[in-house]
């Protein structure tokens, strides 16, 4: 299972969480990555943790003020990027363009989607993985794998019907090892989570609890 911790724009200690994530990953053998704000990519990558961008823009080098250039994210140390997160939605053509940009910069990609139909459409664009996240469960206390198991199973089926090489992650409300275990049982290859770690009083304990069933 892949655990991707998205720090969003939370007032979190990005370097502290990244260092902890690297340590927990090494101790448990579980793949854990951290996605900080673009301006903190280099600082997070310097900790040695697998580092992901939260977004890249569908642009090449040129006159694109305010964009997040995929090449710049890669140069700062990003290994991969989220695209079309629920809080950073893109139009279809821009998802495609962002995937092209990520491919040029050799970034691994996860395209986010609200539901299984969008998962199928996203998988058709050829990302490495898709992540299904019901927006109404994001930031809540109940995990998608417990509250809406069907959406995870349907997302896995939808991606498989289009391209069985595209992995499926799920996200929203994931915070415990039990949630992670349930996601795996439903066919997900990983989880995308944020508040469960970024807002935790003790991010180390939160991460350790999360990966406990896999250790
Ligand atoms: O990117 C992460 C997801 O939006 C899930 O956020 P959450 O774990 O706070 O529900």
Q: Single out the residue of 41, 79, 32, 48 nearest to residue 204, CA to CA.
A: 32
All domains in the chain, ordered by first residue: 2-214 (3.20.20.70)
User: Is 133 labeled as catalytic in the residue annotation?
Assistant: yes
Q: Is 23 designated active site?
A: no
The one catalytic residue among 26, 55, 103, 133: 133
Q: CB of 50 closer than 6 A to ligand 1?
A: no
CA nearest to 149, candidates 110, 181, 194:
181
Q: Which numbered atom of ligand 1 lies nearest the CA of 175?
A: 8
Of 139, 190, 197, 207, best ligand 1 pocket probe by most atoms within 8 Å of the beta carbon: 139
pLDDT, residue 198, reads 98
Per the DSSP assignment, residues forming a β-bridge with 112 are 131
Q: How far apart are CA 57 and CA 49, in angstroms?
A: 23
User: Is the CB of residue 188 less than 8 Å from the CB of residue 145?
Assistant: yes
What is the per-residue pLDDT across 39-85, written as a single tens digit (0 to 9) for each? 999 999 999 999 999 999 999 999 999 999 999 999 999 999 999 99
Write the CA distances from 146 to 43, 106, 160, 173, 182, integer angstroms.
35, 35, 22, 9, 7
ipTM score here?
0.99
Contacts of 92 (CB under 8 A, 6+ apart): 121
Ligand 1 center to residue 203 CA distance, Å? 15
**What pLDDT, on the 0 to 100 scale, is given for residue 190?**
97
Q: Is 172 in the pocket of ligand 1 (CB under 6 A)?
A: yes
Residue 87 CA to ligand 1 center (angstroms) comes to 10
Produce one character per residue of 154-192: b if its CB has 16 or more CB atoms within 10 Å, e if not: bbbebbbebeeebbbbbbbbbbbebbbbbbbebbbbbbb
pLDDT greater than 80 at residue 147: yes
| CA distance linking residue 5 with residue 35, whole number of Å | 6
């Amino acid at each position: 299972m892949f655990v991707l911790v998205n720090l969003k724009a939370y007032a979190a200690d990005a370097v502290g969480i990244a260092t902890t994530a690297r340590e927990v990953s090494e101790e448990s053998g579980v793949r854990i990555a951290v996605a900080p704000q673009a301006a903190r990519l280099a600082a997070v990558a310097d900790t040695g943790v697998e580092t992901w961008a939260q977004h890249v823009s569908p642009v090449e080098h040129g006159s694109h003020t305010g964009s997040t250039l995929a090449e710049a994210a890669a140069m700062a140390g990003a290994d991969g990027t989220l695209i079309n997160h629920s809080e950073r939605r893109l139009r279809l053509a821009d998802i495609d363009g962002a995937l092209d940009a990520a491919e040029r910069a050799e970034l691994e990609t996860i395209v986010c989607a609200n539901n299984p139909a969008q998962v199928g459409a996203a998988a058709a664009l050829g990302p490495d993985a898709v992540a299904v996240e019901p927006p109404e469960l994001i930031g809540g206390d109940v995990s998608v794998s417990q509250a809406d198991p069907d959406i995870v199973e349907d997302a896995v089926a939808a991606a498989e019907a289009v391209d069985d090489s595209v992995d499926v992650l799920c996200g929203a409300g994931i915070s415990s090892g039990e949630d992670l275990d349930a996601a795996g049982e439903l066919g997900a290859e990983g989880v995308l989570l944020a508040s469960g770690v970024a807002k935790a009083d003790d991010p180390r304990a939160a991460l350790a609890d999360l990966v406990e069933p896999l250790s």
